[in-house]
Amino acid sequence: MKKQNNKLGWLFTSPYLLFTLIFFALPLGWSLWLAVTDWNMMSPTIRFVGIQNFVAALYNPAVQSAFFVTYKFLLLFVPLAVAMSMGIALLVNGLPKLKGLYMVAFFLPYLSSGVVTSLIVKGLLSYNGAFNTFLRAKLGLDIDWLGNPTTAIFVVSFMIAWKMSGYYGLILISGLSSINTEIYEAAELDGSSRWTTFWRITFPMLYPSLFTVLILAVGISFGIFTEVYQLTGGGPNFATNTWQMEIYNQAFVNLKSGYASAIALISSVVTFASIGVIRKLLEKWGERNGWS
């Protein structure tokens, strides 16, 4: 009976194991092999170079720039996404009725294609777009939103935060609905203001939902590509050149697949290490607020 149950268990898990093997294990093994070779994806011969690709990547100014740009996106995108999703969650949760309808409306941008969203934003912020035309006519401002290093990274961060805020807001709403209303009633009787109630009760008790949102947002920060590719191409002056953008350029523009694989592996290590550190910090914060 035990052997039969084991066979049945392997049978039910086989689709996931097969999926993992095809779409994770095999590509990872291939990437590890490419990282120690020099191959342009067209030549019939592959030259083994050892760790040269890793050494070259670590000393490459473009790769170093991508490292810092990714953390700039992290510092801009994560607070924006959390603030916007929190605002949506509080707004919808406070509505007397039709909460589901409004939440669906906020959730719709998440379902839209990143390419389509980027093209709309690019058209809106173009020189002859409605927004810039209004700024020039009414305020006398002529801003090159995507041609300025400071505004370009902010535009990309804000756009992705807007796109993801509905999804993150849905997670936060589920957290808000799980908070016992009697706690708010007791705080009101004690004379607690709304601001104090939010920071002393709502925010700490949203820890499980906030933990999920923050980890997801951090993961997104290290995987930004579509929006940058469509809006800025990594520019101006490498201001938005992320890890993913640099990997794409090396692999498909410069045809250095081995070098690109080395950068991808380095970025993976940095990503997992960063998420691990942030996770530990969040867990410490949760422990201080009674979550263990």
Tell me the three state secondary structure of residue 70.
Answer: helix
pLDDT over 90 percentage in the chain? 37
Q: Kindly tell me if the per-residue pLDDT of 68 is higher than 80.
A: yes
Q: Structure pTM?
A: 0.86
Q: For the domain that residue 124 is a member of, what is the CATH number? A: 1.10.3720.10
Q: Kindly tell me if the per-residue pLDDT of 9 is higher than 80.
A: no
38 within a domain of the structure (yes/no): no
pLDDT at position 2: 65
Q: What pLDDT digit, counting tens, does each position of 154-186 carry?
A: 999 999 999 999 999 999 998 888 888 888 888
123 within a domain of the structure (yes/no): yes
User: What is the sign, positive or negative, of the torsion defined by CA atoms of 93, 97, 98, 102?
Assistant: negative
- For 140, 170, 225, the CA distances from 85, given in Å and listed in that order, are 33, 8, 22
Domains of the chain: total? 1
Task: Give the range of the structural domain holding residue 151, as residue numbers without chain letter.
Answer: 51-288
Contact 166, 107 (CB under 8 A): yes
pLDDT at position 171: 92
- Residue 90 half-sphere exposure toward CB, CA atoms < 13 A: 13
226 within a domain of the structure (yes/no): yes
Q: What pLDDT digit, counting tens, does each position of 203-254 carry?
A: 889 999 999 999 999 999 999 999 999 999 888 888 899 989 999 999 898 8
